[in-house]
């Protein structure tokens, strides 16, 4: 993805392509920040995108990744600089190289408060707030039941449903993500809301961090999103679950009633034009990095 000119030495640090061999050290960097990634989570993200590694004296001291969705859009994330190396401009170097490699694509990301000004200076503008909900969810027998939408039913996705899921996802997001959804289908589960023989909503679940993450969730309305998420929870052993949802999605109070407290927020940002999405139908992200 990046030109050879990007892989150069800067202030004693060398910028390289992030490879599978870097992932154990990348895991150590994220763990030092308290991020709950597993090595499997790094491998999942790395298999779908392109990344940069910043090395100093043969040790990984920084990472950054980008995921392209068609020729017009991309997401960036997993941007980390080792604590002992902060204040040297390494974060800016990683971000600039990552953006240069994206070419003319419109770029979106979810920013911590600490990184906001770095992104603002590079033309990113805020578009909303993302809430991170997580916790040990309330067990199935303790939850009040939800009624499925009229003329619809929930089912585990069959192989034949994947084409419809990909189509629905692109219509809601405004950009194609077939490889992401195929990978989720391989490592996790997809649940669909079907009506009149067509898929009208879906939710994904996979092992992640301390337990499971639910997302993406695409649904016709918030009630359908709740039913999809509730169906997944009913199939999980009681345990830790994470859901990343927009602050204005309408899911927040309901997720908290299920034991998934809002523990953090991020600022959603874009550089360029946002995708022509049906934003109201997107109720949860795959992850804060992949979108």
Q: State pLDDT tens for residues 123-164.
A: 999 999 999 999 999 865 544 555 555 456 899 999 999 999
State residue 279's pLDDT score: 63
Domains 4-104 and 131-284 share a fold: yes
Task: Please report, rounded to a whole number, the percentage of residues in the chain having pLDDT higher than 90.
Answer: 82
Residue 255 has pLDDT above 70, yes or no: yes
Rounded to two decimals, the pTM is: 0.90
Residue 274 has pLDDT above 90, yes or no: no
Terminal alpha carbon distance of the chain: 20
Our separate counts of H helices and E strands in the chain read 8, 14
State how far the Cα of 119 lies from the Cα of 153, in Å rounded to an integer: 43
pLDDT digits (tens, 9 = 90+) for 37-75: 999 999 999 999 999 999 999 999 999 999 999 999 999
pLDDT digits (tens, 9 = 90+) for 79-117: 999 999 988 999 999 999 999 999 999 999 999 999 999
Q: What are phi and psi of 101, to 5 degrees?
A: -70, -20
CATH architecture, domain defined by 4-104: 3-Layer(aba) Sandwich (3.40)
CATH architecture, domain defined by 131-284: 3-Layer(aba) Sandwich (3.40)
Strands 50-56 and 13-17: antiparallel
For the packed helices 23-32 and 39-48, what is the interaxial angle rounded to 10 degrees?
120
Q: What are phi and psi of 75, to 5 degrees?
A: -115, 145
Structural domain boundaries of the chain? 4-104, 131-284
């Amino acid at each position: 993805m990046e030109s050879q000119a990007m892989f150069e030495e800067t202030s004693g640090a060398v910028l390289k392509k992030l490879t599978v061999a870097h992932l154990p050290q990348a895991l150590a960097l994220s763990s030092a920040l308290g991020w709950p990634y597993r090595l499997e989570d790094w491998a999942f993200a790395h298999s779908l995108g392109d990344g940069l590694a910043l090395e100093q004296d043969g040790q990984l001291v920084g990472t950054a990744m980008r995921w392209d969705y068609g020729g017009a859009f991309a997401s960036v994330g997993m941007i980390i600089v080792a604590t002992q190396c902060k204040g040297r401009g390494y974060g800016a170097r990683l971000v600039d190289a990552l953006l240069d490699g994206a070419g003319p694509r419109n770029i979106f990301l979810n920013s911590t408060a600490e990184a906001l000004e770095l992104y603002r200076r590079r033309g990113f503008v805020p578009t909303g707030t993302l809430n991170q909900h997580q916790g040990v969810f309330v067990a199935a027998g303790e939850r009040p039941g939800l009624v499925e939408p009229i003329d619809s039913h929930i089912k585990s996705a069959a192989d034949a449903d994947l084409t419809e899921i990909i189509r629905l996802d692109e219509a809601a997001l405004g950009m194609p993500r077939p490889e992401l959804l195929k990978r989720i289908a391989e490592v996790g589960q997809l649940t669909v809301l079907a009506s009149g023989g067509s898929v009208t909503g879906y939710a994904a679940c996979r092992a992640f961090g301390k337990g499971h993450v639910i997302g993406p969730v695409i649904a016709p309305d918030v009630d359908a999103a709740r039913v999809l998420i509730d169906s997944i929870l009913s199939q999980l052993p009681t345990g830790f679950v994470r859901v990343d949802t927009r602050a204005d999605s309408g899911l927040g109070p309901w997720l908290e009633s299920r034991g998934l407290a809002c523990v953090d927020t991020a600022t959603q940002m874009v550089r360029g034009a946002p995708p022509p999405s049906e934003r109201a139908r997107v109720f949860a992200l795959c992850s804060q990095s992949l979108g």
